[in-house]
Structure 1
Amino acid sequence: MVKNDTARLEARLPASVYATLKKAAELKGRTLTDFVVSAAHEAARKAIEEEEIIRLSAEDQRRFALALIDPPEPNETLKRASSAYRKSVETR
Structure 2
Amino acid sequence: MLLRRNRRAKPPPFSHPPLRSRVAGRTLTDFVVATVQEAAQHAIEQAEVTRLSLADQQRFAEALLTPPRRSPALQRAMARHDKLLRTE
Query: Residue 20 of structure 2 corresponds to which residue in structure 1?
Result: 30
Alpha-carbon distance in structure 2 between the residues aligned to 1:53 and 1:34: 29
1:66 corresponds, among 46, 62, 65, to: 62
Matched residue type, 2:44: I
Query: Structure 1's 91 and 55: CA in aligned 2 closer, same or farther, altered over 3 A?
Result: farther
What is the Cα-based RMSD across aligned positions, in Å? 2.7
1:76 corresponds, among 64, 72, 76, to: 72
Query: Structure 1's 63 and 44: CA in aligned 2 closer, same or farther, altered over 3 A?
Result: same
Equivalent residues in 2 for 1:79-90, closer than 5 Å: 79-90=75-86
| TM-score scaled by length of structure 2 | 0.55
Task: Compare CA radii of gyration and give the structure with the larger one.
Answer: 2
Q: Any unmatched runs of 5+ in structure 2?
A: 1-14, 22-27
| TM-score scaled by length of structure 1 | 0.53
Alpha-carbon distance in structure 1 between the residues aligned to 2:38 and 2:64: 35
What is the number of residues matched between the two proteins? 68
1:66 Cα deviation (Å)? 0.3
1:90 Cα deviation (Å)? 1.0
Query: Residue 43 of structure 2 corresponds to which residue in structure 1?
Result: 47
Give the fraction of aligned pairs with identical amino acids, expressed as a percent: 46
Query: Structure 1's 87 and 65: CA in aligned 2 closer, same or farther, altered over 3 A?
Result: same
Deviations along 1:27-64, whole A, 9 cap, x unmatched? xx323335413421222221331454333332221111
